[in-house]
Amino acid sequence: MSRRIVIVGGGPAGVGAALAARQQDAAAAILLINDEPGEPYEKPPLSKAVLTGKAMPQDAPIAGPKGIAGANVTLKTARIAQIDRAGKVAITADAERIPYDALVLATGARNRILPMFPAGQTGIYYVRTADEALALKAHLGIAKSLLLIGGGLVGLEVAASAAELGIKVTVVEIAPRILARVCDEETAALIHRRHRDFGVDIRTGTVCTGLQALPGGKLAVVTKAGETLTADIIVVGAGAMPNEALARDAGLAVQDGILVDDHGRTSDPAIFAAGDCTRFARPNGAARLENWRHAQEHGAAVGRNTAGGDVAYNPAPSFWSEQYDLYIQGIGWPIAQSTARVRRKVGDKATVLFELDGASIAYAVGINAQRDIATTRRLIERQIAVDVTDLADPTKPLNALLKPKS
């Protein structure tokens, strides 16, 4: 009998697992179960091109133009409600029993809902699905003002999209600056200034204490300082939480994510997990990541392992964000105390900041520096010792640092 691989979740981790499992085992019966109807689609455009009307969610299928069926993977729309580990069966909300030899949980993450801003209240939006993005897009078409709660990457992408549409945007961030979890102060300041160039009002160190619905449909937020901010729309970007309930209810080990080893195995050897829903083992301790590239690469490694492969996952994590004419990227693992910080000014509106751990790069964040970030990925993965003067000098190509010194 052919190997039966069942994958729960239609994001980049689930699709990546399905495609990699097919590459590993041409004879396997692979079933991808997604709780959203239709072909699995990319999520990054939802806060950018979809909101500005340049694209629709279905324009970006994760599996490419031929779709998931083009890889001989069966797609099923259903919600898995329970796992019978003893019988190796996944059970849908409609009580359909789906047997598996290997099960992959790629259930992703969900928005962190703030009690002050309840999801579903008129004028309040969280963005994670196509339906949520399209609902927000429709409201943006008639709105004149938007209040964004949270100064993280996705929230700032929404702010940039709205500003490009000519909407007055205010961003409220509780921290002293935006992007505190992502980049250094100088890089954040560059991004902050670009938002200001487009008329976005960013209020840092601001705490929201109350919400009021005003006559005429507007919403008002009261701050701790006693200020009242009004807007037609409120968008909340307060982070995400792993969808671990299915695993927890099945008795699998969870800890702010489904615990997996470096091959993606859970505490049940027949069940794997990948992507945003996991806390995965790595040499320096378990970690949880929430970004597209991690989900895709983790899914691919896990998919191969479900089909007989032997792939250990030890990534150099990365992210990207598009805001106006800024292409923001990060690569590596930020560290609490870096040996040195080195900035490389590549050109107009183009810069990279390197954080070193000893003689090698641990983390880098860049703006409009795609080529240098791509080279930095290899420097990090190979743990190549670098000279700080070479890093700081834009006339010295980073590619030269990949070559061993004679």
pLDDT at 348: 82
Task: List the structure tokens of 8.
Answer: 């729960």
Q: Cα separation of 146 and 167, whole Å?
A: 7
Q: pLDDT truncated to tens, each residue of the chain (406 aa)?
A: 799 999 999 999 999 999 999 999 999 999 999 999 999 999 999 999 999 999 999 999 999 999 999 999 999 999 999 999 999 999 999 999 999 999 999 999 999 999 999 999 999 999 999 999 999 999 999 999 999 999 999 999 999 999 999 999 999 999 999 999 889 999 999 999 999 999 999 999 999 999 999 999 999 999 999 999 999 999 999 999 999 999 999 999 999 999 999 999 999 999 999 999 999 998 888 999 999 999 999 999 999 999 999 999 998 999 999 999 999 999 999 888 888 999 999 888 899 999 999 999 999 999 999 999 999 999 999 999 999 999 999 999 999 999 866 5
Q: How many CA atoms lie within 13 A of 383 on its CB side?
A: 4
Which residues are paired to 234 by β-bridges? Answer: 124, 147
Q: Where are the beta strands (DSSP E) in 38-179?
A: 74-77, 80-84, 89-92, 97-99, 102-105, 109-111, 124-125, 145-149, 168-172
pLDDT at 263: 98
Do residues 39 and 67 make contact, with C-beta atoms less than 8 angstroms apart? Answer: yes
Closest CA relative to residue 383, chosen from 405, 401, 371:
401
The H or E element containing residue 211 is strand 208-213
Q: Report how far Cα 400 is from the mean position of its chain's Cα atoms.
A: 32
- Domains of the chain in sequence order: 4-35+59-110+240-306 (3.50.50.60), 113-236 (3.50.50.60), 325-402 (3.30.390.30)
Is the pTM here over 0.75, yes or no? yes
Give CA angle at 178 (177, 180), nearest 5°: 80
Helix (H/G/I), strand (E/B), else coil: 397: coil
Q: Cα separation of 255 and 286, whole Å?
A: 10
The residue with tokens 């619905």 is: 213
- Please state, as a whole number, how many other Cβ atoms lie within 10 Å of the Cβ of residue 188: 18
- Please state, as a whole number, how many other Cβ atoms lie within 10 Å of the Cβ of residue 322: 17
- In angstroms, the Cα distances linking 322 to 109, 276, 381 are 21, 21, 25
* Residues ≥6 apart with Cβ < 8 Å to 342: 353, 354, 356, 388, 391, 392
- In angstroms, the Cα distances linking 175 to 81, 202, 207, 262 are 38, 11, 9, 34
pLDDT at 337: 83
- In angstroms, the Cα distances linking 90 to 12, 247, 276, 278 are 21, 11, 21, 19
Q: Cα separation of 300 and 291, whole Å?
A: 14
β pairing state of 145-149 and 233-236:
parallel
- Please state, as a whole number, how many other Cβ atoms lie within 10 Å of the Cβ of residue 50: 25
pLDDT at 406: 54
